[in-house]
Every structure is written in structure tokens, then in C-alpha cells.
Structure 1
């Protein structure tokens, strides 16, 4: 954009002295009967029909990519039974509670984060029935002292159970992103997640196809280990965009395990750029949605 402005000015005999790009994100329409959360402009749910497709990795890297684009971003780990966001963001310790009622989110790489994994020991199983898990989710969302956020990325557990239904009925969601891998067995389950959001009137912003191909680090040969074109076919069938096809890359796994996701650890790498392009496409899709009819409320602290 800077080069385009400079070229236009040069054509008119002028010189560009300085250029500053600012981000302004509007609050967008949510489900009927709900209003945007105080201080949070847009809640974006990242979901999958089944586990093991890289949903949490995608959610964290999309959040960090949005932050690199200049947005104020938070991540809510809604996977009560298998929280992984703290490990991926390299977070440890316990969040603070200044008034013994609310919780300060923890921060990593410029994003705010909250997870049940920050409140219990890492090896403590959450042996809870559905109502207890959904109650915990509502507390994590409502009792966290989120700052003024443009996006709150919610990493949902896999499937279409109680937590997903609670999110759809009680939490104002501006849009959802579906994560799948190319093979048919994965897209079959991802279609169910997509249809769930359609039924509860949450717009699907697009599909992210994970592990779409593997590029040999020695010879550059490309192999489609999990099939080819599944995400594109699903996107075409449901009339939603394919936000990106992400590679099966060793760096994504290594850097996620190390607590420094690839968007932070290697921002110029092809995997990081793929996440950035997907985040840009998602943000553009959301920006084209109708804006919230109710003004964004200010959080009272």
C-alpha cells in the first residue's frame, strides 16, 4: 500500500514523506437476540468436526497473525477437557485475581489468553459432565478482565456437543472458521460442524485446510499425504471461501510444542505466511458482514 501511494504521488510530481497504517476493526452482527460482549468487538469461533486436525494450532496462529496485522487480540481456550493453548503460547503459572472475583488474562506475544489449563495442574483430568463444562466456559469468558479487543478467538473442542451449543446460544459470535484436513473422513465430520453453525445462525467465514501437503525439506518434492482438494470441494459445496491450505511442516509442530508458534518463531517462513494470508482472508470476510446494530458497550472495571 505504501508503494502504491508513493507511486501515485510520484506521478503527480510529489514525494511521500511518511506513511502510517492504522487498524480499525468494527463490531459485526451476531446471533439474533444477542449483543457484542463489552469491550470485545468480534468473537470468532475456530471449530472442527473431529480432533487431530490441528484446530488449536490453527486458532493460535490465526490469533497471532491477526495481532501482527495490528489488531488487538485475545484467545479463549474453550476445550475444557483438553486445553492446549497454554502450552502452545508458552504460558505457565496462575492468572491473577485483583478482586477475588475476576481474573486477569495472561499475555504472550502481544495477545491475551485464558484457559482452564491455567487454573488447574497440567496432569489434572477434568472429569465433568456437560453442564459443569459449559458453566466453566461461561465463567472463563465472563469473569476474565479482557482488554479492549478487536477479536477474541475461541478455540472450541472438536465435535458438536454441549460446549458448542452453549457458545452458539449464549455467546455473541460474529463468525466461525472450520478446520479440516483434506481426506474424506475428516471433511465428513467438518461438514457437520459447518452445518451446526448454519442452524444456529452463526456465519461461517471460511474453511482452513490443514496438512494439505508435505514439501520435502531436501528435494522440494510435494506430496499430498492426506489426499488432495478436500477443503476446496467442501468450500465449493457450501458456498464459503477456502481461507488457506496449510502445509504439513515440521516447524509448525516443533515450534508449537516449544511454546513459540511459527507465526512468532519464523514470521517470514512459508507456513507463517500461509497463516497470515488465511487471517487476512478471514478478516476481510468478516469486514464484509453487516455491522452490529447495537453500539459496542464499554467494559466497566
Structure 2
């Protein structure tokens, strides 16, 4: 077998795994969602807003990775918000857990083939914008990819999307405008900003925070970027939202812990939940 045949077999196997997973989920749920939601760190209780019809733990789903991070529950939740059908990921997968990028983004592929047309991604991040404070809610307007592996690296399968993806609008301008309108109506203060993705799992050093700021980002985290790239590859309209859980300066960096990040995310969770719910209902 030559190198080309090996690569072709690899992508064929990946496509077959996606289809196998989709078939399993359809047989279990008979559910066709319009919205996909990836619930980030400390935001897993959004599922309380869903009228739940099915819950599938990740470990029961063929080919699905399993989340290893505290604060990520690890299940696909199917149900409705108003008249909108939704599938929510309680917990995502990260490159730093040891998964490769195709595994990290596997659920996005599956959601597309289940019928999802719009994807909402959430995360917790460290802020470098001087106008941010802990607990701020940031609507993402762009992203910078500094992760060491690209999710589209390798042979491209046109069934998934085009070889060279236009990333000029990673986050839907229409969804951003609607979310800001809703936030104003609901008296929810939001900022906007650019998210930069690093590998993790260490929190950033002060010099790394300075680098993030110099590069033009407002916040930094360890997720989201590969999911958004794959979502755009599959032509999913995408919206991103982040909770600032620490500020990258001398005062905060000395004491920041995983538990403190989780606590900060949970304090802002009710407002994030409300905004996401209203966006799904009204967009």
C-alpha cells in the first residue's frame, strides 16, 4: 500500500466512524436537532433549560471520546427549547487530554450529520483586555489559532467540506447582532472580543498573557478554536460566548486555581444560560 492509499483509507475510516455514530444516535433517539450547543467549563447546567427527551452518556456512544476534565459531565442531551430542537454536549474534549484534533472535533461532525444547522460554543477564558473583569460575558467576534495541530490537517473529504475554508467570518455576524440585541433587552452586560486558543493544560504565564495581548486577542483558552474551524468547514452557522474567569496580570495569576475558575464560571452561568436560551428561541 502506497502513502496515498494509506491516507485515503484513513479518511474513509473516519467518515465511516462518523456515519456509524450518527446511525446509532438516530436509532436511539429518532431526533433531528436544529441547534447544537457545546457547553464549556462550568456551564453544564444549561440543560436544565431544555425539555429533555433523550440523554446519551458519551461512554455508550460508538466512537465517541470521553471527557476527563472535572466540571464536564459527559453526555449528549436531546430536547427542545420552545419549538426549537436542540442537542447539547455536556462536556467537550480537549487536545491537552491526549486526543488528536479529529477526536476533539468528532462531535461537531456528528452533529452536522444529525441535522444541526447552527452551533453555539461556550467556554471559560482568561482575560487580557484591560476593560475586562472576572465574571464578564464576552461575545466572540473572531479567533486566533495557536494550537499545535490543525483539525483539517490531512486528506480532505469533500463530503465534509472544501479543502480551503474561508475563515473571514468564524462567528456569524447575524447571530452576534441578535445576541447583542437580546442582551440589551434582557439587561445583560456583554463585551465582545477575540479569543486565542493555546494547548494547555497549564494556565498561561505572565509573559504568555502579554503575548496574547500583543497578538491582538482579548481572551485566551484551551478549546473552541478547533470546533469552530470544523463547524465552518461543514458550513454550520456558529456563535461563540466566553466567561472571563481570571485576568492575566500580576495580581490574579499568583493565586488562580482550577477551583476558582470553576467558581467564577458558575457565578455567571445564569446570565449565559438566559442569553443562549433567548438566542435559540429568537434566531
TM-score (norm 2): 0.27
Larger Rg: 1
Which has more strand, going by share of residues? 2
